[in-house]
Structure 1
């Protein structure tokens, strides 16, 4: 995502700053420059428009967190192997990652209102398709479409808000997103578990997707009648070659990681994986030398701080997505918790994320990269605590016994969300901020897909024999702790300096 398509912000951004934040599982902010105060009177319907933009963000946040709770019920009804459970999460985040790269640019070219309507209609239709799916393949395909349309939809809404709110109100408008997205991330799994257990009209797990229908219709109706019809369109091109290369690279990496175990790890799986790595290298070379409008600002690919930040984001968000999915599978499939019981068990983790995130926001400017080291250290301690707790209590473990580990893991994660982006973006120029933050957001989603592919595969391999459930979960938790330790080491590559106050 190049700098001339960087006019969009994302939930949690504050007006007039370049500080992106993130809530649990949600999309991170795309940094944006301070807009000039317009002499025109503010749009009288701006807060209604704010509500319209909020709707798809809620849908995206819920769909990011709710599917883990639903996955075991999905498998029980329509079948599919363990890879199906992985694809339900990885398919969405993979599509979101690759289409997020071009989503903002399409809004610049064709108009944000147009792309918002297309994205909202597509996301809603894909949600209904998920709810009506009769086979694993159909459901996974619908999840991919959800992710693609979500990536098209989210950037447009933030860009629209920048045009309807005066500068003095932008801080309030964007600031209100953070607590609402945090609430959605906490309530999403609980809502999903409750809907599955309630089995409304016999829908079971299907209702976790169909719940998007009324929200999507409200967003569509509001968009038709409320969004400004005047659309700024820029005369620019979409880099289809670059987008195609990075999409192919992502698929070539994620597919073998998810499907390799089911196929017995044949040679062609390893060939695909190697081809994906080569394709990412080809993408980097192409972006540095293309004369077209590049997806990534070429100078960023020579920036050590930014490259280090990408590596940290892949490793960290991979660990987050992988361990959250594995914990849910362990509780439901391994310990036979009901969906709502598993969701309630995860509340301390979400509360840890929310609480630590509030504290970390105030400390980032003072401590710089050290705040990241602190968060990763707490996360590692939490993962080790989880391993020791599971090892000690085995199949007799209860939700209450998991509270300390969940709080520590969540607190560690919460300290990283947001500050990671700010520390990394502190090492790029103002001209590069839009492209850098958009790329980091896409890499966050790709890292989530990678984590689901790798960590869940490790867990399924270790627990193939039901008698190995406890030892498999313990080993998986320790492996994720080792992954977090890798991220801890990579943080040393970031600049050790205080950041300007917000």
Structure 2
């Protein structure tokens, strides 16, 4: 029973990353939130989530994964309540920043607990379910978010998308207190405040202008901020190297990069997650803004994609055991085919495209993503020493979330740049087509980078294998 409890944290974090997309019109109307505030509601969460992830993973290594999971889950639940009670755009932005930071405390502990507590024979299955939860949480943000807004539960409007986390968090905490194992440090832990500050500040200087630059018209401070971020991150890396040589405990465990799968897998994650987050974001805008669908109708359009993602995610583990990394290559190729079909449809139909035409390419993308994402996560973390599970999970999830935020910012800027002051359906279709070409390039890049991953020895699949179970072994 431990696995579904800890995966609830992953689901909640991914759900809250995407659900605000469908609620943006309601936030704009009810709170009088301007475009800059809406950008911060979405991007502010991504920033604090990504910026705190490595620190959250390191704290789990130092103080125990159980303790950090419980603390992070409780704080995330409180932050969600504050989001639901916000009375102004400023209050909502502040609560979202806190929500992202608390998510960064609990989510790295999920992968760390899987790595540290599941035996090697069960770990791949648990990783498969983690990948399923990541994708389903993302798509549920669109589908369930639309359902909640349409139902207008208790007349709460947009607030319900945040308040729904409160009962879920309380139940998850109750089970976690009973089921999560204790991990005790063998010595007094030491922190790396300079490393934590350098990583957070460096990511902030890069992410904030990416999030706000388009809306502000790319003033000089955005370019200066991004320029300063590079030397600051380089200086932080130099400090981490120096601390390692002195026998200290750096925030970034650079010995992780001696593992070929981990080092080679991070660039694959960057390319893939940049595509995935931006593709979902732009499709939501196309469906609601361009084709005029309601949040519920837009969410239901994502459902076939989500179902196929779930099915192929569950099958991917046994297929990867038999065919190795070729499963990811096939998954990337199917995803690329789906995007190519979308491009052809947009070129042929333009503004006459309907949601029905989008179902086939979205289904192909869901099918391919399900084969690729869970297998990729398992391949990257397979050789990590369980003692460093928190640090590895923190670096991996930071990489994924930074790539997601950067993908949404950059490809979102391309999309909005293709719209005029009063965009028509044709304008939306043309802007989506431009983004689709970039998304195709990212998927092809991720698929090519799979070649850098070490090839595990393939083994025959067992004659009869039970379906993955949510029961922890």
Q: TM-score, normalised by structure 2?
A: 0.83
User: Could you tell me which residue of structure 1 aligns to residue 145 of structure 2?
Assistant: 192
Q: Which residue of 2 aligns with 1:404?
A: 360
User: Aligned pair 1:232/2:184, yes or no?
Assistant: yes
Report which of the two has the higher share of helix. Answer: 2
Identify the residue that residue 26 of structure 1 maps to in structure 2.
Answer: none
Does residue 272 of structure 1 match 2:225? yes
Map 1:210-359 to 2 at 5 A.
210-222=163-175, 226=178, 232-234=184-186, 235-290=188-243, 291=246, 292-301=248-257, 306-359=262-315
User: In 1, Cα distance between the equivalents of 2:355 and 2:120?
Assistant: 46
Deviations 1:413-451 (A, max 9, x none): 222202223444568788877644442222111111111
Unaligned runs of 5+ in 1: 1-46
Is the 1:288–1:299 Cα contact (8 Å) retained in structure 2? no
1:406-485 to 2 correspondences below 5 Å? 406-425=362-381, 435-465=391-421, 466-467=423-424, 468-485=427-444
Residue 47 of structure 2 is matched in structure 1 by: 94
My pick for the range that moved more, 436-445 or 109-118, is 109-118
Structure 1 stretch displaced more, 107-116 or 404-413: 107-116
Which residue, out of 328, 331, 335, partners 1:372? Answer: 328
- Contact kept, 8 Å, 1:108 with 1:232, in 2: the verdict is no
User: Using the alignment, how far apart are the partners of 1:320 and 1:161 within structure 2?
Assistant: 24
Deviation at 1:409?
1.5
Shift of 1:270: 0.9
Instruction: Please identify, of 429-438 and 366-375, the stretch whose mean Cα deviation from structure 2 is larger.
Output: 429-438
The correspondence for 1:124, drawn from 62, 77, 80, is 77
Structure 1 length normalisation: TM-score? Answer: 0.79
CA distance in 2 between partners of 1:380 and 1:228 (Å): 40
Change over 3 Å in CA distance of 1:366–1:127 after alignment to 2 = same
Q: Distance in 2 between matches of 1:303 and 1:176?
A: 24
Cα RMSD (Å) of the superposition? 3.4
Tell me by how many angstroms 1:324 deviates: 0.5
How many angstroms does 1:222 deviate by?
Answer: 4.8
Partners of 1:156 and 1:426 in 2: CA distance: 16
205-214 or 49-58: which moved more? 49-58
Q: How far, CA to CA, are the matches of 1:146 and 1:283 in structure 2? A: 26
Q: List per-residue Cα deviations over 1:195-223 (Å, max 9, x = no partner).
A: 11122333211111111111223334555
Aligned residues of 1:258 and 1:457 also touching (Cα < 8 A): no
Residue of structure 1 aligned with 2:12, choices 59, 71, 74: 59
Closer, same or farther: CA 332–105 of 1 in aligned 2, 3 Å: same
Deviation at 1:107, TM superposition (A): 3.5
Query: Residue 164 and residue 424 in structure 1: after superposition, are their counterparts in 2 closer, same or farther (change >3 A)?
Result: closer
Kindly provide the CA deviation profile for residues 384-437 of structure 1, in whole angstroms up to 9, marking residues without a partner as x. 211222333334433221111101122222222022234445687888776444
Provide the residue aligned with 2:447 in structure 1: 488
Give the alignment of 1:106-125 within 5 angstroms.
Answer: 106-125=59-78
- Offset, 1:229: 9.9
Q: Check whether the contact 2:270–2:400 (CA below 8 A) recurs between aligned residues.
A: yes
Aligned length: 454
Q: Aligned-pair distance for 1:137?
A: 3.3
Give secondary structure in 2 for the equivalent of 1:93: helix
Superposed displacement of residue 125, structure 1: 1.4
Distance in 1 between the 2:121 and 2:450 partners?
35
The range that moved more, 172-181 or 463-472, is 172-181
Check if 1:104 corresponds to 2:57: yes
Contact 2:195 2:236 in 1 (8 A): yes
Provide the C-alpha distance between the structure 1 equivalents of 2:28 and 2:240, rounded to a whole number of angstroms: 41
